[in-house]
Amino acid sequence: MAFLWITETIPMAVTALIPVVLYPVFSVMKSEEICKEYLSDTNFVFFGSMLMAIGVETTKLHERVALRILMTTGSNSRWLLLGFQIATAFISMWISNTATTALVLPMALSVICELDYCRRRQENPSEIIIKRPIGDINFEKIPSHDRNLYKALLLSICFGSSIGGTGTIVGTGPNLIMKNFVDKNNYGKVTFANWMIFAVPSMIFMLIFLWCWLQVLLIGFRRKTGEEQFDQMVSKVIKEKYDLLGPVKFSEKLIGVLFSIQVFLWFFRKPQIFPGWGDFFPDKYVTDATVAMSVSILLFVLPSKNPFDDKSGGKDFEPIVTWRDMHERFSWGTILLLGGGIAMAKGVEKSGLSDIMGEYLSSFSAMPEWAFILVACFLVTALTEFSSNIATASIFIPLVASVAKEHGTNALLYILPTTLSCSYAFALPAGTPPNAIVFSAGILKITDLLKAGLVLNVFGYMMVFLITHSYAPLIFNFQSLSLSDVYHENITVI
């Protein structure tokens, strides 16, 4: 499966179905058991977040939020970069990286087209200039400063999307793979709240470094001649796009309220740092999937227009999300891909492969914990540049858990940094779908990704190590679980 995911010989979603055939045939798992993994509790959490994404997209709330952030940060080229990074990262925390990039990229391309039009009009004031679509622009003939700015904008989107996805459990596939694996094996408590407390600070530091690094690499810190005019053009484009949205619609307000309720319920269900509302229910009865599905159902029930508004009287009822929206926009392939990743991780564990590999890697037993984390994160960061991050997480999370068992260490100490490292693929187009989507715009070259991404990989590698050994133990209390609790060892008291 890993080979097929890397080479994409057949569609990745189809590859994800292979365990349904091979695991029962080779007596790894029963067919009934393996099929359940494709619509597990974790997958329903992702299902709900994708439905919320459809609701946000149909109401165009994401455009309003992104443009408002850009208007707040300002139109100066440096602040424009920061604005795109913040907007992309924030949206990516709640919506899949791929969907976020696909939603934000058209805004950046529109800004680039407008800037190209204004630049040509300045260079040829006596000629009639027509706006060109992005595919007709010859970027090799554009002044290097402008070209570098365009590259920085696109890199801000794809990198910001990957970084933002690490901030929440639902932000990216590896986080959900980790959550499912930890819950099913009782390796500790990873909740929506304590994951955000753990991951959001590193996400912020990564974004700050990305902003500074792109300025060093592509833009520079000195103001260029004519930059004030550039600022005015950008401000005009953003303002025009925002005005086209019109006043805030009823559907936008409603989806904003539902989104806020969903995040609030996720965060305060079982935050661990203090009692949550989930503690009023029997353990494992109410989960994040319960919240996701409750809000998802409301998307098909609540109206997209104010029923008490006279202007909407007499019109047919239309919910925020219709089944047609669901049919046209919902990515079933992503659900299958995540399910395949969960199934693969389960098979690695059930077959005993993770234990065998753990014993094989027992040579690392003499290695200090911090050194093993460095080695594991390096391997994961390197592999995820060439394969799906879900595939990488599915293989390495059970593996490092087995090594933790050999070391007599709480598995979370190895699992958490491994999970974050799965999302740090910045150097190649094949590393993540956001990289591939942005690369397909035709502005970036592979060398652009390599120059910007390799340095970001190294910084992310160092950041993961630092947070794992600084404040992570305060959040997850790595020493609190006994080996019998963590690894299901049966203890009989006579």
3-state SS assignment for residue 58: helix
In a domain, 155, yes or no: yes
Distance CA 78, CA 253 (A): 31
Distance CA 475, CA 469 (A): 11
Whole-number average pLDDT of the chain: 83
Q: Give me the percent of the chain exceeding a pLDDT of 90.
A: 23
Helices marked H in 330-368 — which ranges?
Answer: 332-350, 353-360
* pLDDT at position 264 over 70: yes
Q: What is the pTM of this model?
A: 0.82
Close Cβ partners of 201 (under 8 Å, ≥ 6 residues apart)? 467, 471
Task: Quickly count: other Cβ atoms within 10 Å of residue 479's Cβ.
Answer: 10
pLDDT tens figures, 418-430: 999 999 989 888 7
pLDDT tens figures, 4-26: 766 677 887 888 899 999 999 98
Which of 150-154, 178-182, 259-263, 382-386 is least confident? 382-386
Structure tokens at 399: 């593996």
In a domain, 343, yes or no: yes
Q: Find tokens 């202007």 and name the residue.
A: 311
3-state SS assignment for residue 37: helix
Output phi, psi for 190, to 5 deg: -110, 110
Reported confidence tier of residue 457, pLDDT bands at 50, 70, 90: very high
Side-chain-side CA neighbours of residue 23 (13 Å): 26
Helices marked H in 192-322 — which ranges?
Answer: 192-214, 227-244, 250-269, 288-299
Structure tokens at 139: 């970027």
In a domain, 372, yes or no: yes
- Cα 172–Cα 176–Cα 177 angle in degrees, nearest 5: 115
What Cα–Cα distance (Å) separates residue 200 from each residue in 66, 165, 290, 493?
A: 19, 10, 24, 43
Q: Find tokens 């365009």 and name the residue.
A: 150
Distance CA 306, CA 248 (A): 12
Total number of domains in the chain: 1
Which of 356, 193, 183 is CA-nearest to residue 273?
A: 193
* pLDDT at position 124 over 60: yes
Rounded average pLDDT over 74-90: 85
Which of 389, 391, 399 is CA-nearest to residue 340?
A: 391
- E runs forming strands in 310-436: none
Q: CA 221, 224, 230, 235 torsion: positive or negative?
A: positive
In a domain, 28, yes or no: yes
* DSSP assignment of 109-156: HHHHHHHHHHHHHHH-TTS------GGG--GGGS-HHHHHHHHHHHHH
Reported confidence tier of residue 39, pLDDT bands at 50, 70, 90: confident
Helix count and strand count (H, E) for the chain: 24, 0
Structure tokens at 359: 């014993």
Rounded average pLDDT over 144-167: 90
Structure tokens at 301: 């029930």
Which of 209-223, 225-239, 265-279, 389-403 is least confident? 225-239
Structure tokens at 411: 């598995």
Burial 327-358 (b: 16+ CB within 10 A, else e): eebbeeebbbbbbbbbbbbbbbbebebbbebb
In a domain, 258, yes or no: no
3-state SS assignment for residue 313: coil
Task: Quickly count: other Cβ atoms within 10 Å of residue 451's Cβ.
Answer: 16
- Cα 198–Cα 256–Cα 156 angle in degrees, nearest 5: 55
293 and 44 Cβ atoms separated by less than 8 Å:
yes
Side-chain-side CA neighbours of residue 299 (13 Å): 31
In a domain, 11, yes or no: yes
Instruction: Find the domain containing 179 and state its range.
Output: 2-39+61-244+331-486
pLDDT tens figures, 292-301: 899 999 999 9
In a domain, 323, yes or no: no
60 and 252 Cβ atoms separated by less than 8 Å:
yes
> Which pLDDT score, from 0 to 100, does residue 128 have?
59
Distance CA 162, CA 487 (A): 32
> Which pLDDT score, from 0 to 100, does residue 407 have?
81
In a domain, 261, yes or no: no
